Amino acid sequence: MKHACLPVATVTFMITSFDDYPIHQSHLPIAHTASGDPNHYDRYFYNGYSRDGSVFFAAAMGLYPNRGVMDASFSVIHNGEQVNIHASARAHPDRIRCTEVGPVKVEVVEPMKRHRLTVDSPEHSLRCELEFEASSLPFEEPVFEQRAGLKLSMQYTRLTQLGTWTGWIEVDGDRIEVDAQTVVGSRDRSWGIRNVGERVQLGAPLNASPQFYWLWAPVCFDGFGTMFDINEYGDGERWHHSGAVLDGTESVKQAWSVEYDVEWLPGTRHMRSFQLRYGFKDEHLTLDFEPIMHFQMFGLGYMHPEWTHGGWKGELVVGGDRFTLPVENPMAPHHVHVQTLSSVTCNRNGNVSTGTGILETLVMGPHAPSGLTELFDPAK
């Protein structure tokens, strides 16, 4: 009896530059993710703002190795407009070449201390050379993990760090000087699994309505900073939260308890007032936020109908858009996600400090404590 000859199964791995360093977490080369999930991602985020609110800019860059895509956006508020540039390209398999997408480039000058951000797109009237210098240690938020039915839909880690900015931005020929004495901000790095790119349908759809409640608030004060985030289900139950005081580059102190009160601006899902309360073993902090302006995360590709994260657009595609602030329809789905630049007053055991920070809000679906019952009904 003859047996047919079956081909020998082969597995192709790709060796790249980072494989020369002792950084491996599995038997796989660095170019390969631990999971084949198409929603695996690796991301940079930055924002910067002046204490008086006259300057606000932000940038984001993402790599989606299992989709073969990388993208980046830069956005700045200038003369009542939010001006944005977007770029998307085929991801290079060598990670060392995945921090530049068209005209947008990120450089890690000194890990956990200094990063450089460059944009050079004169055809979109937007250029910048900016450098971030950390004023705090990085804060590692608890792992985010969620399941959609039995499928793991979210499992990622994020670090957040406060700092100052120097350099310049050029918009429509106007040059904006950025000085560390007046412009502060934050950066984050996150990686893991999170819903990105075109939706991948895997079998039967879930019998559940979309719902996501997310608040995030890094704040810079003189000599220290604070961090906060929270996720809740529609009934108000928390499934993720953290809070911390970042005392310069000396320590990170995690809060024992975190409480908050938020009041929504009627007709929107944007914050009108916000108070945070941190409890520690030896002290208590109360932070009161007074909003200055709402920055649209849409300008960085979040929920963007054309420049959504992780979407394949071609080998290299660059584009731009701009819109007037405040937006005409804040309840349009792509305008719900905002970062609200705020003046923040902190009472720390009777000592009062004034700082600047943001409250990021993304609230979709019902949230009983807020009186929201539908996917995008506005606050009353």
Would 28 be classed as within a structural domain?
no
Task: Report pLDDT for 207.
Answer: 65
Name the residue among 154, 148, 266 with its Cα closest to residue 205.
148
* Cα gap 317→59, rounded to integer Å: 17
Instruction: State the DSSP code for 126.
Output: E
Q: What confidence tens digit (pLDDT) does each residue in 282-330 have?
A: 899 999 999 999 999 999 999 998 999 999 999 999 999 999 999 999 9
Would 14 be classed as within a structural domain?
no
pLDDT above 90 for 199: no
Would 30 be classed as within a structural domain?
no
User: How many domains are contained in the chain?
Assistant: 1
- The phi and psi torsions of 356 (rounded to 5 degrees) equal -135, 140
* Cα gap 360→357, rounded to integer Å: 10
pLDDT band of 8, cuts 50, 70, 90: very low
Contacts 24+ apart (CB under 8 A), 251-259: 251/137, 252/136, 252/137, 252/139, 253/280, 255/279, 255/280, 256/280, 256/281, 258/228, 258/230
Total-model pTM: 0.93
Domain with 121 in it? 38-199+208-370
User: How far is residue 148 from each of residues 138, 191, 244, 362, measured CA to CA in Å?
Assistant: 30, 19, 29, 19
Residues 318 and 72: beta-carbon distance below 8 Å: no
Give 353's Cβ-side CA count (13 Å radius): 17
> Left (φ > 0), alpha (ψ -120 to 50) or beta: where does 223 sit?
left
- The phi and psi torsions of 40 (rounded to 5 degrees) equal -65, 135
pLDDT band of 52, cuts 50, 70, 90: confident
pLDDT band of 201, cuts 50, 70, 90: low
Would 23 be classed as within a structural domain?
no
Q: What confidence tens digit (pLDDT) does each residue in 154-169 have?
A: 899 999 999 999 999 9
Q: Is the peptide bond before 326 cis (omega within 30 degrees of 0)?
A: yes
Residues 342 and 289: beta-carbon distance below 8 Å: yes
> 3-state DSSP call for residue 329?
coil
Q: What are residue 77's DSSP bridge partners?
A: 82
Return the top range by mean pLDDT from 143-147, 204-208, 351-355: 351-355
Structure tokens, 196: 């990105």
CATH of the domain at 150: 2.40.370.10
Query: Which sign does the torsion angle of CA 334, 335, 340, 341 carry?
Result: positive
Name the residue among 347, 380, 377, 348 with its Cα closest to residue 365.
377
Would 31 be classed as within a structural domain?
no
* Cα gap 40→194, rounded to integer Å: 7
User: How far is residue 310 from each of residues 68, 77, 100, 119, 376, measured CA to CA in Å?
Assistant: 9, 25, 15, 20, 24
Would 21 be classed as within a structural domain?
no
Residues 320 and 335: beta-carbon distance below 8 Å: no
